[in-house]
Amino acid sequence: MGKEYNVAIMGATGAVGEIMRDILEERKFPVKDIKFLASARSKGKKMSFQGREVDIEVLGEDSFKGVDIVLASAGASISKDYVKHILDAKALIIDNSSAFRMDDDVPLVIPEINPEDCGLNKGIIANPNCSTIILLVPLKPIHDAAKITRVVVSTYQATSGAGAKGMAELEQQIRDYAAGSALKVDKFAYQILHNLIPHIDVFFEDGYTKEEMKMVNESRKIMHEPGMRITATTVRVPCLRSHSESVNVETEKKLTAKEVRDLLEKAPGVTVEDDIHNKKYPMPFYVSGKDDVYVGRIREDFSADKAINMWIVGDQLRKGAALNAVQIAEVVAREGLK
């Protein structure tokens, strides 16, 4: 038997934390012991793991003694508050928040793209933004084959991207609409039912949002292409789960739609669903709960010499968050980096 690891999930009772637990079990990660860490609201509660009930512990400064790997999904402010205590305990933190993604000495990793960057860690490995992960998994094989010169992406992001409260607001608005009651707006800037909101996170002075610039800056870092030309528009849509993206990719070398399909059919973490004659294309309702990023509507852009249009859908709670973090832990375990 290989090495086993003492693992802690920080933010264990959140949507992503619970899926991290499930994926550790599903993929049989070599867990010796597990800690579920949450706020005082969860004190006295339990979570199941590998057929046994485990007490949920209240997150504190001493929570990390004896822990090898911390899977963190408790938010950027909490990660910043506790990172010193994690590092002092000689644990590795794989952080799902935006806290450390753009730090020069913190690797930002998608295992299908840059697993070797895990070896550069100084105790912290960052998990990218969910929309960035969903975008780049299918772009990497295209970049390797033909060198991407420009990317234009528009996202259609589910309410679960705003957390459990975002999903609950959509569901409540559906119930209120059916009952003929007034719709309450709290989590989003506007009613999300029967609507699209072209605004995710805060606006910068240049008119872009923080979410859009996360996609730009994180893509450049992960792909090791600091000059990559990429622009994004991010939109919240009234879906419960899974983000969709319309992507236009320009390349240095021309690729046909068939060549792109062939590349993606062989790519790790990608499922091609592209049969327009039988109305087969990725949709969030059907991709939810799946691990792969799904790609369809692959076609040549007739308005440009060397460009491809694609439609990409991925479950942002799994590959866009929990699964990617566990895959990073698998790289760490496989390469003996911890």
Residue of 118, 130, 143, 239 marked catalytic: 130
What pLDDT does 239 receive? 97
- Judgement on whether residues 149 and 195 belong to the same structural domain of the protein: yes
**At 91, phi and psi to the nearest 5?**
-95, 155
- Judgement on whether residues 111 and 155 belong to the same structural domain of the protein: no
- Judgement on whether residues 150 and 222 belong to the same structural domain of the protein: yes
Q: 175: domain CATH number?
A: 3.30.360.10
Mean pLDDT of the residues in the chain: 97
Element (H, E) at 295: strand 293-300
- Judgement on whether residues 141 and 276 belong to the same structural domain of the protein: yes
- Enumerate the β-bridge partners of residue 244: 156, 313
- Judgement on whether residues 44 and 151 belong to the same structural domain of the protein: no
- For 151, other C-beta atoms within 10 Å of its C-beta total 23
137's tokens: 């998994």
- Judgement on whether residues 260 and 164 belong to the same structural domain of the protein: yes
- Judgement on whether residues 141 and 119 belong to the same structural domain of the protein: no
- pLDDT tens by residue, 126-184: 999 999 999 999 999 999 999 999 999 999 999 999 988 999 999 999 999 999 999 99
* 3-state SS class at 26: helix
| Pairing mode, strands 307-314 and 243-251 | antiparallel
- Judgement on whether residues 192 and 84 belong to the same structural domain of the protein: no
- Judgement on whether residues 51 and 172 belong to the same structural domain of the protein: no
- Judgement on whether residues 141 and 215 belong to the same structural domain of the protein: yes
- For 218, other C-beta atoms within 10 Å of its C-beta total 24
- Judgement on whether residues 145 and 239 belong to the same structural domain of the protein: yes
Element (H, E) at 326: helix 323-334
- Judgement on whether residues 66 and 146 belong to the same structural domain of the protein: no
Active site includes 243? yes
- pLDDT tens by residue, 209-236: 999 999 999 999 999 999 999 999 999 9
Of 179, 157, 208, 182, which Cα lies nearest the Cα of 313? 157
**How many structural domains compose the chain?**
2
Residue of 118, 143, 239, 243 marked catalytic: 243
Active site includes 85? no
Is the pLDDT at 21 greater than 60, yes or no? Answer: yes
Range of the domain at 236: 132-316
Q: Residues 336, 92: contact at Cβ < 8 Å?
A: no
pTM greater than 0.85: yes
Q: 49: domain CATH number?
A: 3.40.50.720
Q: Indicate the residue type of 334.
A: R
